[in-house]
A and B are shown apart, each in its own frame.
Chain A
Amino acid sequence: GAGVSQSPSNKVTEKGKDVELRCDPISGHTALYWYRQSLGQGLEFLIYFQGNSAPDKSGLPSDRFSAERTGGSVSTLTIQRTQQEDSAVYLCASSSRVGTYEQYFGPGTRLTVT
């Protein structure tokens, strides 16, 4: 079946603009995660959705970052008033959270703030 998809694959934006990044998880997966990967760095956890539970937002770096997940499926990560330090690859992952704890990753969105 289809894997996790993300769009756009690349996004260039001017400092101060808002951006929206989209993630389509694997069908039936109840858990969805957003990570940020800055150049040469590891993965930084941002936010986690599990079913209808309140999301775990503990990793969001500032109040300019927000995310929502509609209908338990598609998720959108929004960054308001982008800054140059927001430039990174944003990765989405989904998990069935049934027994394996394995996360399946999308290809990422490369965000460049100029």
Chain B
Amino acid sequence: AQSVTQLDSQVPVFEEAPVELRCNYSSSVSVYLFWYVQYPNQGLQLLLKYLSGSTLVKGINGFEAEFNKSQTSFHLRKPSVHISDTAEYFCAVYSGGYNKLIFGAGTRLAVHP
């Protein structure tokens, strides 16, 4: 079965500092990977996705992620965060055999002034 592990439950960071949110997944033949963001009291919004092709994926709000097949990782990065990036971030893998997204437990990013 597919599984997703987000290695950090909380990440505090100062404004304008770089940040990396880590995500590892269990291996599978075909892997589609996603990062979603959830702002307080809202639903989930897609940040970026990897389906195939270039391993470096750029998303909205200046975020990017790199698919690393050998390390089964899909870490999310931003070179300079803003207060408005404070939110919960979820990594997810699409499981074709199960026809659903498998989500990690989430990482709470707290950006401080």
Contacts and interface: CB of A to CB of B under 8 A. Distances in A.
Prevailing SS type, chain A contact patch: strand
Given A42-B90, A42-B106, A103 B101 contact: yes
Contact of B90 (A4, A43, A108): A43
Measured as residues with beta carbon below 8 angstroms from the partner, the interface class of chain B is 20 to 34
Prevailing SS type, chain B contact patch: strand
B74 interface: no
Interface string B33-76: 01010000011111001010000000000000000000000000
A62 interface: no
Q: Which 4 A-B pairs have the closest CB atoms?
A: A105-B43, A42-B105, A105-B44, A43-B103
11 contacts: A41-B105, A42-B106, A50-B99, A91-B43, A91-B44, A100-B51, A102-B34, A102-B46, A103-B101, A104-B46, A107-B42
